[in-house]
Amino acid sequence: MVPPSGQCRAAHGEGGGDPSLEEVLLDWGGASAPAWAGQRLPPSKPGFGTPGMGPKGGPGRSSEPLGTAVVYKARIRSRYRGTSVKAGARTRENQEGGKPVEESRRHLPALGPLGVPVGGAHEEGAGADCGQMEPEPEPAAVEVPPGRVLSAPELFAARSRSQKLPQRSHGPKDFLPDGSEAQALRLRQCREELWQLLAEERVERLGSLVAAEWRPEEDFVELKSPAGKFWQTMGFSEQGHQRLHPEEALYLLECGSIQLFHQDLPLSIQEAYQLLLTGDTVTFLQYQVFSHLKRLGYVVRRFQPSSVLSPYERQLNLDGYAQHLEDGTGKRKRSASSQSVNKKAKALEDSLLPISLAASSPPASVQNSQCSMEKAQESKPMKGPGVPFQLLGSLEPCPGLAREGQGCGEESGKAENGVKGARKPRWNFEQISFPNMASDSPRILLPAPAPELLPANVAGRETDAESWCQKLNQRKEKLSQREREQQAVAQQFREDVNADPEVQRCSGWREYKELLQRRHLQKSQSCPSHLWGQPVTPLLSPGQADSPATVLQHISVLQTTHLADGGARLLEKPGGLDISFDVYQADAVATFRKNSPGKPYARMCISGFDEPVPDLCSLKRLTFQSGDVPLIFALVDHGDISFYSFRDFTLPKDLEH
């Protein structure tokens, strides 16, 4: 069974997440309940239990003893044009005093003339026949107050009524009002079904309901009787009490797992929506995402900034320790302390930052040393286990080795003075003599190394390397047939450097290098001067193109960064989106422990579909905050939720052609 979704839209009021349903829009032929309305009902239907959801099992419904069931009423017609209807809360409000009470009697008659509100901003048909809406027939048991104990016949009736959701479709979808009688009829039909569905009583066994009290001043719900199975994944303990966050309480209320009281009076679902989702705890959007994910079986917990390990902590394997810390702070979470916890976490991260810089952990190290970043870049893709880096096979298995001699010096020169790209060889090879260790050299006496090349505490001395040479494998390389053929082919075209008479005339490396220089000059003279004779020359000179790898190395001038880089700086800036929930996979429910939840599967940011897309700045801030857990943006569009993730990426270098 699938909850009807999407096709009907419920536009809720603007007033700070007021959950009351002020406007109901129906698309033609759609489901007969708005998405969120569907969300409320299905959990009470059998077969809807998803792992982790079920505080209440499916079986045993009909075998419940008479007289112990209570009725929960989903009230929808709370406020139309300011007429507030709170049937169930009537008495309470009387006690409170001050709030309008007399409307509660009025709500049904008032609906007729007012009809479905003409939502100015809304398109699609709703306005079509607003005016001619007839007063709706009053569903039978609207006036039953929540928490009432049913009589035997009522219970029997409740148990034996149809469990089927009404038909979803009333023909093809209409997009424009055509003023026809048939359309109006269909619209009315849809609407009636919606009301009916929303008004359905939820009958639960009193014994299986956990009593809980809403404490508005502290923004949590305190359990009055021992918690049910849901306690494994929901709620928190504080000061020896079991408590629920408002979104959890509301969800459990909708599931029929708790009975919620406020000032000793039971709350209807509608009232709970109104009371629990107002204020600055959880917005309606957040609750929609929360309940959506919960119904799919995910474990959803509030995001606690303090639970995120800093890169440095992660590097040091501080998981366990941080977990321990979190247990301490996490317990007295909620309420006013949340802000301070947040600050504390920031302070912790900030204090750790200098250290993590020194440790050159990838995210933080960038600003300072480009060189180390380059390394990190190269090695980073390799690290990811199980990542199919096919292309990377040829990606310079060892960066140090791939660059030889001059190339190396050049590289470092580039990194050091970034912009200018000056080439400063690190070693002066004219002064460093390399011994000939080849087999053709009869006597190998290695002179003492120049002291300036050695660290202060190391003494160099002369050696005879002959004994070493004997140990070296100096046999000729054995080649396969194919390799030999390849070599032969290459040999056809390649000239032995030593065969060159000019080279032969050189008496030393210096002369040979000069020769090369001369030749290079000659060659580059053929290079057009409008390219090479200018302040800005091409990145690649004709002689430098040995292999695709070296070419790419020469022309790689733009640097890569990562989303988490420099995120700490951005954390100080307030505002914008925030991470709301940690989400754990549904199949982890069995082993899930609130005390040590482990790494979340993802973290959720919740935003309206009309709100702006986060810019790079917010992306970086949130990604940094999220640490190594993927960040997902949940977008709520009138009850429809879609999820998008922005993830850091570095395109691998492709050399294997």
Partner 1 sequence: MAEAVFHAPKRKRRVYESYESPLPIPLGQDPGPQKEFRVFRAEMIDNHVLVRSPADMEQLYGKGYFGKGTLSRSRPSFSVSDPKLAAEWKDVKTNMPIIPSEKYQHRLSWAADLLRRQGQDENTVCRVLEEYTRPLEHLGGESSAEGRPQAGLMAETGGLLGIDGASGTMKETGKPGLGSGPGPLAAASFGECTGEDPAPASRVSSCVLDALSPQCGLLPLDSSLHAREREPGPEFVLVEEGASGGSEREDTQAVEEVKSIKLVQRKRLICRRNPYRIFEYLQLSLEEAFFLVYALGCLSVYYEKEPLTIVKLWQAFTAIQPTFRTTYGAYHYFRSKGWVPKTGLKYGTDLLLYRKGPPFYHASYSVIVELVDERFTGPLRRPFTWKSLATLSRVSGNVSKELMLCYLIKPSTMTDEDMKSPECLRRIKVQEVILSRWVSSRERSDQDEL
Using rule CB under 8 A, residue 615 touches partner 1: yes
- Which listed residue (375, 541, 577, 594) binds partner 1 by CB under 8 A? 541
Minimum CB separation of residue 65 from partner 1 in Å reads: 37
Q: In the stretch 367-406, what mask flags binding to partner 1 with x, by CB under 8 A?
A: --------------x--x--xxxxx---------------
Using rule CB under 8 A, residue 559 touches partner 1: yes
- Which listed residue (552, 593, 595, 598) binds partner 1 by CB under 8 A? 552
Using rule CB under 8 A, residue 9 touches partner 1: no
Contacting residues for 185 by C-beta, under 8 A, at least 6 apart: none
Using rule CB under 8 A, residue 483 touches partner 1: no
Minimum CB separation of residue 491 from partner 1 in Å reads: 10
Amino acid at 596: S
Minimum CB separation of residue 609 from partner 1 in Å reads: 5
Are the beta carbons of 38 and 2 closer than 8 angstroms? Answer: no
Contact range with partner 1 by CB under 8 A, out of 60-68, 81-89, 107-115, 623-631: 623-631
Q: How far apart are alpha carbons 96 and 87 in whole angstroms?
A: 15
The distance of Cα 596 from the centroid of its chain, to the nearest Å, equals 20
Structure token digits, residue 477: 């390389």
Contact range with partner 1 by CB under 8 A, out of 25-33, 170-178, 423-431, 618-626: 618-626
Using rule CB under 8 A, residue 114 touches partner 1: no
Q: Which of 164, 187, 246, 194 is nearest to 21 (CA)?
A: 194
Q: Give SS3 for 221.
A: strand
Minimum CB separation of residue 357 from partner 1 in Å reads: 18
- Which listed residue (183, 619, 625, 638) binds partner 1 by CB under 8 A? 619
Minimum CB separation of residue 476 from partner 1 in Å reads: 23
- Which listed residue (71, 277, 563, 606) binds partner 1 by CB under 8 A? 563
* Cα dihedral 35, 41, 43, 46 sign: negative
**Bridge partners of residue 353, in order along the sequence:** none
* Residue whose CB is less far from partner 1, 192 or 648: 648
Q: How far apart are alpha carbons 247 and 268 in whole angstroms?
A: 15
* Residue whose CB is less far from partner 1, 595 or 650: 650
Minimum CB separation of residue 369 from partner 1 in Å reads: 14
Q: Which of 25, 88, 11, 39 is nearest to 197 (CA)?
A: 39
Using rule CB under 8 A, residue 538 touches partner 1: yes
- Which listed residue (548, 577, 589, 594) binds partner 1 by CB under 8 A? 548
Using rule CB under 8 A, residue 66 touches partner 1: no
Using rule CB under 8 A, residue 530 touches partner 1: yes
Structure token digits, residue 168: 């979803």
* Residue whose CB is less far from partner 1, 9 or 77: 9
CB-facing half-sphere around the CA of 502: CA atoms within 13 A? 9
Distances in whole angstroms, Cα of residue 553 to Cα of each of 381, 545, 547, 564: 17, 10, 10, 25
Structure token digits, residue 572: 């100080």
Q: Using H for helix, E for strand and C for coil, what is the string for 230-269?
A: HHHCCCEEECCEEEECHHHHHHHHHHCCEEEEECCEECCH
Are the beta carbons of 233 and 594 closer than 8 angstroms? Answer: yes
Are the beta carbons of 300 and 589 closer than 8 angstroms? Answer: no
The count of chain residues that interact with partner 1, using the rule CB under 8 A, is 93
Q: How far apart are alpha carbons 8 and 124 in whole angstroms?
A: 11
Using rule CB under 8 A, residue 562 touches partner 1: yes
- Residues 412-451 close enough to bind partner 1 by CB under 8 A: 418-419, 421
* Residue whose CB is less far from partner 1, 12 or 414: 414
Minimum CB separation of residue 164 from partner 1 in Å reads: 22
The distance of Cα 145 from the centroid of its chain, to the nearest Å, equals 42
Q: How far apart are alpha carbons 596 and 323 in whole angstroms?
A: 7
Using rule CB under 8 A, residue 560 touches partner 1: yes
* Residue whose CB is less far from partner 1, 24 or 641: 641
Using rule CB under 8 A, residue 479 touches partner 1: no
Using rule CB under 8 A, residue 601 touches partner 1: yes
Contact range with partner 1 by CB under 8 A, out of 169-177, 323-331, 429-437, 605-613: 605-613
- Which listed residue (623, 625, 638, 639) binds partner 1 by CB under 8 A? 623
Taking phi over 0 as left and psi of -120 to 50 as alpha, with beta for the rest, 653 belongs to: beta
Q: How far apart are alpha carbons 43 and 74 in whole angstroms?
A: 13
Using rule CB under 8 A, residue 645 touches partner 1: yes
Helix (H) or strand (E) holding 202: strand 201-205
- Residues 241-300 close enough to bind partner 1 by CB under 8 A: 292-293, 296-298
- Which listed residue (211, 408, 540, 577) binds partner 1 by CB under 8 A? 540
Using rule CB under 8 A, residue 561 touches partner 1: yes
Using rule CB under 8 A, residue 123 touches partner 1: no
* Residue whose CB is less far from partner 1, 79 or 620: 620
Using rule CB under 8 A, residue 585 touches partner 1: yes
- Which listed residue (199, 416, 532, 640) binds partner 1 by CB under 8 A? 532
By the 10 Å C-beta count (0-12 exposed, 13-18 middle, 19+ buried), 210 is classed as buried
**Bridge partners of residue 259, in order along the sequence:** 211
CB-facing half-sphere around the CA of 308: CA atoms within 13 A? 30
Using rule CB under 8 A, residue 641 touches partner 1: yes
- Which listed residue (587, 593, 595, 596) binds partner 1 by CB under 8 A? 587
Contacting residues for 165 by C-beta, under 8 A, at least 6 apart: 1, 4, 33, 45, 197
